[in-house]
Structure 1
Amino acid sequence: MPFFSVIIPLYNKENSIRNTLSSLLAQTFSDFEVILVNDGSTDNSEARALEISDARIRLFSTENQGVSKARNYGITKASGTLVAFLDADDYWFPNHLEQLSNLYKMFPECGLYCTNYERFFNADKVIKPKHIDIPSHPWQGIVKDFFKSSYIDRIAWTSAVAVPRTILNEIEAFKTTITLGAGEDTDLWIRLALQYDVAFDNEISSRHVLDAENRISLEKTLRRSYAKLDEFQEEEKQNPSLKKYLDLHRVFFAIQHKLAGDMKTYNFYMQSVDKTNIPLKAKLVMAMPVFVARKFYAFKKYLERKNILVSIYD
């Protein structure tokens, strides 16, 4: 039985899957299996993946059902002690699985293991996340307050986490009612963090690729089914950090829908938000008429192309 089962959902990533698989096969920790789930790709993704031959890779093909179902399907095929996730356009540095395995050895009772990551926009713009109350020097440990530490950037990012397989088999993993990357991973990490300790290694071991090809546009907002975040209402009443964490996500989801012209969904999210949890810059955007907010958003995207990143959530 391998120590890691690495699950890769694959949908129309012919330009990146070889690089992603190569980074996985270059790991210093080699006790793993790869479960590659081709989720009905319509390009040459599967052919490109098959160009790389390794006995540890198992390829499964399904009809296109979305990333949550693809990951859940992969979990049913997993046999490792820990399940790690890797998206088909992301990248692991050679020490990634070794860091996760060390975290597990140090903290075997945790329900979620995370390593740090970088956000790659292009060769000239690589950003290290900001985490609250996490030591800046090399550090591995139990995160004291998972939700507070994730106010600015997330402690848990999908291509940089591992979860014990026994836990994933006991709970509903990725909710299939949430689609197109609209919070299915966030929902799972919340549920795990409410039940278990979270271990974190703040050394960067992976890369979140955010080039133009991989960013989700506003045009897709109305086709996505977002996490409602309402199942945590009782917990957030007793947990101020969770409440603020959820409100920051609600504000983000609300603004996305405002920009898409869906004020009904905007109001759904905002009705649950404590106004004191809204960042000042977000308040300014929310006060704008829709057409002005869209111009602001377009200008923000223009700045990104000039390698100037602007966040309204910190």
Structure 2
Amino acid sequence: MLPKISVIVLSYNYETYIKDNLQSLLNQTDTDFEVVVVDDGSNDSSCDVINSVISQNKTSVKISFYCHENHQNKGIIESYKLALSKCNFDYVAFCESDDYWHPDYIRNLKSTIEESKSSFIACKISCVNQSSNEKYDEFVEHCNKRLAKISSSNQNVFRYLLRGNTIPTFSAVCVRKKVLLECDFNTFYPPYLDLWLWRQIGIEHKIAFSTGSVCYWRKHDLSYDMISHLSELQAFFIANNELLMNKYSKCKFTNFLFRFIRKHFSQKIYLKCQNRVLSRINKRILNN
């Protein structure tokens, strides 16, 4: 039996793009999936656009639409938690409201899941501009090639997530729901929530890559900002590493040693030591 997939779409002030997003989901060649939309207190006409698309939907795809109480703006973390609580199927895919999918995305994604039995799937990314015209992006092409190689050679994706994000958009990822429910969503820097989650998942799960599922990642002036300062980025990785160390490192001496290193050495050295230990933990988990 092919896997059942719930697709999460978060909406926030993207009235210009949300219709294209939802229409790309309704235009899928495989319509056996559900869409869960959560609006995070938009103050433009996004909600009207969403309701219009739902009212005109003639496909078998069910779109469920939710908002926070009193139409509050609660942020990306609480919005994803709400959306996840409304998902009914075993796998959860993401399509951010300013992005969209190729018509065969779901069909090819299901085939990849069925073939690989993976709980963690990344899909091919193609960059587009504000007008939906494809544009070459060297970083994205590098990520596509790296993910394809990791998947085909049965490597561990976690080693590539230790220092950066080789899966740069939510819109190209699908995860088994029970795996997502085990994750801690509470990052101090919400724009990097995707990497915060991918590292938690990647330490225990190998990744499959669906080359036939193409996500169109729209890069524009209103895109969610990312960390720009090295010190903030290091702090992000250290916080995520500490989360993983607390979960997987049971050695009292190791934990004492890391407290000592953090107190007496630089962030850079502390982070380097964390990465070495977590890399070993990752190998041990996946080799068992």
Q: Look up the equivalent residue of 1:40 and give its one-letter code.
A: G
Report the identity percentage.
22
- State whether residues 140 and 202 of structure 1, in contact with CA within 8 Å, keep that contact through their aligned partners in structure 2: no
More helix by share: 2
Alpha-carbon distance, 1:50 to partner: 1.3
Q: Which residue of 166, 189, 207 maps to 1:154?
A: 166
Moved more, 140-149 or 86-95: 140-149
Moved more, 123-132 or 58-67: 123-132
In structure 2, relative to structure 1, the CA distance for the partners of 1:153 and 1:106 (3 Å cut) is same
CA distance in 1, matches of 2:7, 2:101: 12
Q: 1:25-40, aligned counterparts within 5 Å?
A: 25-40=26-41
Partner of 1:12: 13
Partner of 2:123: 115
CA distance in 2, matches of 1:210, 1:204: 19
Number of aligned residue pairs: 240
Partner of 1:163: 175
CA distance in 2, matches of 1:45, 1:269: 42
Q: Look up the equivalent residue of 1:5 and give its one-letter code.
A: S
Partner of 2:25: 24
In structure 2, relative to structure 1, the CA distance for the partners of 1:69 and 1:103 (3 Å cut) is same
- State whether residues 118 and 204 of structure 1, in contact with CA within 8 Å, keep that contact through their aligned partners in structure 2: no
Q: 1:167-246, aligned counterparts within 5 Å?
A: 167-169=179-181, 171-172=182-183, 175-181=185-191, 183-203=192-212, 205-216=214-225, 226=236, 228-231=239-242, 232-233=244-245
- The answer as to 2:61 corresponding to 1:61 is no
Alpha-carbon distance, 1:270 to partner: 3.6
Alpha-carbon distance, 1:58 to partner: 0.7
CA distance in 2, matches of 1:106, 1:10: 32
CA distance in 2, matches of 1:106, 1:162: 15
Normalising by structure 1, we get a TM-score of 0.65
**1:196-228 residue CA offsets vs partner (Å, 9 max, x unmatched):** 221112346001111112252789999999562
3-state SS of paired residue (2:35): strand
Partner of 2:96: 87
3-state SS of paired residue (2:20): helix
CA distance in 2, matches of 1:79, 1:271: 44
Q: Which residue of 55, 74, 79 maps to 2:83?
A: 74
In structure 2, relative to structure 1, the CA distance for the partners of 1:113 and 1:91 (3 Å cut) is same
In structure 2, relative to structure 1, the CA distance for the partners of 1:236 and 1:79 (3 Å cut) is closer
CA distance in 2, matches of 1:202, 1:272: 37
Alpha-carbon distance, 1:115 to partner: 1.0
In structure 2, relative to structure 1, the CA distance for the partners of 1:235 and 1:142 (3 Å cut) is farther
- The answer as to 2:40 corresponding to 1:44 is no
Q: Which residue of 107, 113, 118 maps to 1:98?
A: 107
The CA RMSD measured in Å over matched residues stands at 3.7
Q: Look up the equivalent residue of 1:35 and give its one-letter code.
A: V
Alpha-carbon distance, 1:190 to partner: 1.0
Normalising by structure 2, we get a TM-score of 0.70
Alpha-carbon distance, 1:272 to partner: 3.1
CA distance in 2, matches of 1:148, 1:36: 33
Alpha-carbon distance, 1:64 to partner: 1.3
Q: Look up the equivalent residue of 2:10 and give its one-letter code.
A: P
**1:164-199 residue CA offsets vs partner (Å, 9 max, x unmatched):** 123233x035x1343441x21112111111112211
3-state SS of paired residue (1:51): helix
- State whether residues 17 and 45 of structure 1, in contact with CA within 8 Å, keep that contact through their aligned partners in structure 2: yes
CA distance in 2, matches of 1:208, 1:268: 37
- State whether residues 121 and 174 of structure 2, in contact with CA within 8 Å, keep that contact through their aligned partners in structure 1: yes
**1:84-141 residue CA offsets vs partner (Å, 9 max, x unmatched):** 1111111111111112101111122x221111112334637332421465557xx974
Partner of 2:280: none
In structure 2, relative to structure 1, the CA distance for the partners of 1:189 and 1:9 (3 Å cut) is same
In structure 2, relative to structure 1, the CA distance for the partners of 1:51 and 1:179 (3 Å cut) is farther
